[in-house]
Amino acid sequence: MLFFISMSLCICLLLFADLGKSTSLLYDSIINLGHVPLFAMVAGMTLWVLDRVKWVSTDKKNYGLAVAISAFLALTTEIIQNFTPERSFQAGDILNDIIGAGTFLAIAYQFRRELKSRTRVFLCSTVYVSLMISCMPVIVAFADEMRAREDFPLLGSFETRWEMGRWKSEESSFRRVSMYATDGYHSLETVLSPGLYPGITMDYPPRDWRGYENLTFDAHLEGTEPLPLTVRINDLAHNEEFNDRYNRTFTLQPGANRLNIDLSEVEHAPKGRLMDMEHISILCIFSYKLQEPRTVYFDNFRLDKDI
């Protein structure tokens, strides 16, 4: 019973504890993959509670109950996380939870049972395919991180679909297109919707910007009216206060624009300290109180040095 209580506390800690700011998309993907072994433990503990004597040798009814209870707990924990600071509801986590529980139960069910060969093959094949599905985000994140390191100081050029995982949108939508590209063959078409802060955020830039003088990127604005856009940059130490980050508004003119940001200004932007240029956290581009939809094509985000 002590073991059961200890494991329950460990599971609660892993599900609800604030693990701090992420250092990379690969790190986040590995953390999310941790739901698989975590809920394999949940399924095993559930099966033990249902039948402490036979445990893995219990009947099919208890296996069915273990599946249902594990799925219920997966959904419940995600709903609870949605109301806790720094955590949110993630459908992908529920999928990994179910895969983890299903993997344990599918393997445990074969223990000391006389099963037909085709049944064992089916169960093992299902486990293999499910685990591969769970591992794909880690594989993709690893491949993209290797490419990002190879491309640096180029931060974003939208030449691969994998790269899109570094970006997210708020009150807007984006997609890779072959229009107005200034580096390679693709740009990021961003449709800013009317709202308070519509924009895009690069959550996983290469962190170390030391030794570079400028951040530049291209923006092609559709329409006939100028558009003010604000660029926000902060480091991992950011305290979420306005005066602890870089914020500057630029006015895009219709057609092609190139924005140049002095990284010395970025470094000295936080009040009372220097920006940690070795650990840049996000690059965010947004409009403020936008009244009508606007479309901007972004490309060629890079760091450079003055010549």
The whole-model pTM stands at: 0.76
Q: What is the residue-wise DSSP string for 121-170?
A: HHHHHHHHHHHHHHHHHHHHHHHHHHHHHHHTTEEE---SSGGGGGEEEE
Q: Residue 8 — very low, low, confident or very high, per pLDDT cuts 50/70/90? A: low
The residues spanned by each domain of the chain are 2-150, 155-304
User: How far is it, in rounded angstroms, from Cα 141 to Cα 168?
Assistant: 15
Domain 155-304 has CATH 2.60.120.260: yes
Q: Dump pLDDT digits (tens) for 91-129.
A: 888 999 999 999 999 999 998 788 889 999 999 999 999
Lowest mean pLDDT among 185-189, 204-208, 275-279: 204-208
Q: Which residues partner with 283 through β-bridges?
A: 202, 233
- Whole-angstrom distance, CA of residue 252 vs CA of residue 230: 10
